[in-house]
Amino acid sequence: MGQFRILSYNVHACIGTDKHHAPERVASVIASCKPDIVALQEIDVGRARTGGIDQAHVLASMLGMKAFFNGSTRVGPERYGDAILTALPIEMRRLGQLPGFYDRIKVEPRGALWASIDVGGHAVQVVNTHLGVWPHEQMLQLSTLLGPEWLGHPDCRDPVVFVGDFNAPPGLAPYRHLASRFTDVQKEWGARKARPTYPGRMPTLRLDHVWLRGRAEIKNVEVVRTPLSRVASDHLPLVVDLDIRPTARFLHGRPAVTD
């Protein structure tokens, strides 16, 4: 086995477009996609606004998976950040906060997680992140993520899947910077098939991406736009099927470049 499905989803703290907090709706959207690996952004852990629950572990329990969470924002016991969920063998390699403008202006701190996941005997490196909203801040964060502690680390060997909410639509400098180093699987699958993911009810922007580096065959790419996904969060999930077996027919991705 070398084929797997990865889902990237900004769940907006499981608060839907109808303003209701409903983790079960988010879990239902994810479960309907049958992913092997789930990369989530905007997860609440112990926050009063969402009932003080640990959303990462609640969702993982509903999905029969294990959860690994990184809190990029911490206020007392409350945490907010990103998570990787899977039932596959997994080794967490790094969790951390990214540089940003939050020490100068009122913006949200950002972070990332790096996990090595065993897919049928093949190690897949998965990095999940949620970048800031300003292009200059995004470039600062990408310089760290592409550097020697993250994607440029010797242990971050291909195949690499770099996923998340990048807040960077095609055409802007941060997107172009990544496109020079990785394959945008939506665009590779077919530029005319590339679909926006935000806002959930009437999406117009492609902010959520799955980037690929290394040998893999892209089998399918889908933005999940269903009645439930359009209300469960303000983003739509992005689902990608990849085959990383040595017999995969195509080579996608570009060599690693470290800054």
257 in a domain, yes or no?
no
pLDDT tens string 69-92: 999 999 899 999 999 999 999 999
88 in a domain, yes or no?
yes
111 in a domain, yes or no?
yes
State the average pLDDT over residues 152-181.
97
**pLDDT for the residue 258:** 37
- Paired with 123 in beta bridges are 118
Q: Give the structural domain span for 213.
A: 3-243
Q: List, as one string, the DSSP characters of 96-123.
A: EEPP-STTTSS----EEEEEEEEETTEE
For β-strands 238-243 and 78-86, DSSP reports them as unpaired
29 in a domain, yes or no?
yes
pLDDT tens string 204-229: 999 999 999 998 999 999 999 999 99
State the average pLDDT over residues 237-243.
98
State the average pLDDT over residues 92-120.
91
Residue with tokens 């790094």: 94
Q: Give me 209's structure tokens.
A: 């991406």
85 in a domain, yes or no?
yes
Total domain count for the chain? Answer: 1
State the average pLDDT over residues 59-74.
97
**pLDDT for the residue 257:** 38
Beta strands in 120-256 (DSSP E): 122-130, 160-165, 183-184, 208-213, 217-223, 238-243
252 in a domain, yes or no?
no
167 in a domain, yes or no?
yes
In the chain, the percentage of residues whose pLDDT exceeds 90 is: 86
Q: What distance in Å separates the CA atoms of residue 72 and residue 43, rounded to the nearest whole number?
A: 10
State the average pLDDT over residues 236-244.
97
DSSP count for the chain of H helices, then E strands: 6, 12
User: Which element (helix H / strand E) includes 5?
Assistant: strand 3-10
pLDDT tens string 28-43: 999 999 999 999 999 9
Residue 174 sits in a domain whose CATH number is 3.60.10.10
Q: Is the pLDDT of residue 254 over 50?
A: no
249 in a domain, yes or no?
no
Q: What is the 3-state secondary structure (H, E, C) of 221-259?
A: EEECCCCCHHHHCCCCCEEEEEECCCCCCCCCCCCCCCC
In the chain, the percentage of residues whose pLDDT exceeds 70 is: 93
State the average pLDDT over residues 121-131.
97
Residue 104 CA from chain centroid, whole number: 26
Q: What distance in Å separates the CA atoms of residue 233 and residue 241, rounded to the nearest whole number?
A: 22
**pLDDT for the residue 249:** 58
pLDDT category at 251 given cuts 50, 70, 90 is: very low
Peptide bond into 159 cis (omega under 30): yes
Q: At what angle do helices 55-63 and 23-33 cross, to 10 degrees?
A: 40
Q: Give me 11's structure tokens.
A: 């769940």
